[in-house]
Amino acid sequence: MTDFPVSFAALIDDLASQGWSQQELFAPQGLTRELAAECHRRVQNGDLYAAAVGRGEAQQVQEGIRGDRIQWVEPGQSEACDRYLVLMDELRQALNQSFYLGLEDFECHFACYAPGAFYQRHFDRFRDDDRRTVSAVIYLNEDWLPEQGGALRMYLPDGGEHDVLPQAGTLALFMSAEVPHEVLAATRERLSLTGWFRRRGDSPL
């Protein structure tokens, strides 16, 4: 078996056995703090915009469904983001070696939920675009307390539920088309870096 970092091995084992994984302290603490600072900088600069639901011409901002504000990450924007993209590309290669998923790239955006904002239950894969294969969310919030809410609630194939608190450094990984989930409202600002490993789609775009 290929020798992966411990965090990769745990993620891969979980994904194989249950279709999702939660890994605390996935990224180095210093990188997580730099990503949080970058997200805060973008929020303060007004760079984030209201996220829409749907795709293409059907996109609409519906805060009754989804209340976060986002900005997509592109290579070369910041050193911290570039380091994170390198880390996720290494994870992409590990997932391909383990599952033969044919993952070609990784896309991600910063997301900021103001107090009280939420995202109703949904799947990450679009009905007319099957490229999103594995979802990956890393949280950027120091000293998060359970009573502050804001959990990612996953609805599991066995009928159970699993809540992931958005504590800094925690990574949630799950199959995009198989795990419906929602973001619960929080009493404080909630920051994350949300992304998807994508394969080549079956349908031309």
Token pair for 178:
């198989």
- pLDDT, one tens digit per residue, over 85-135 is 999 999 999 999 999 999 999 999 999 999 999 999 999 877 767 889 999
C-alpha closest to that of 35 among 198, 195, 197 = 195
Under a CB-based contact definition with an 8 Å cutoff, are residues 39 and 110 in contact? yes
pLDDT confidence of residue 35: 97
Structural domains of the chain ordered from first start: 6-199 (2.60.120.620)
Residue 27 is classified by DSSP as: S
> Poorest-confidence range of 14-18, 24-28, 65-69?
65-69
- The single residue listed with the structure tokens 């009280």 is 116
Q: Which element (helix H / strand E) includes 178?
A: none
Radius of gyration of the chain (CA): 16
pLDDT confidence of residue 74: 96
* Model confidence at 18: pLDDT above 60: yes
Query: How many Cβ atoms from other residues are within 10 Å of residue 21's Cβ?
Result: 21
* Model confidence at 204: pLDDT above 80: no
Under a CB-based contact definition with an 8 Å cutoff, are residues 20 and 172 in contact? yes
Amino acid identity, residue 164? V
Mean pLDDT of 43-62: 74
Mean pLDDT of 167-177: 95
Share of the chain above pLDDT 70, in %: 87
pLDDT confidence of residue 1: 37
What's the CA gap between 39 and 30, in Å, rounded? Answer: 14
Q: Which element (helix H / strand E) includes 173?
A: strand 171-175
Mean residue pLDDT of the chain comes to 90
Global pTM value: 0.90
pLDDT level of residue 67 (50, 70, 90 thresholds): confident
C-alpha closest to that of 174 among 196, 151, 193, 148 = 196
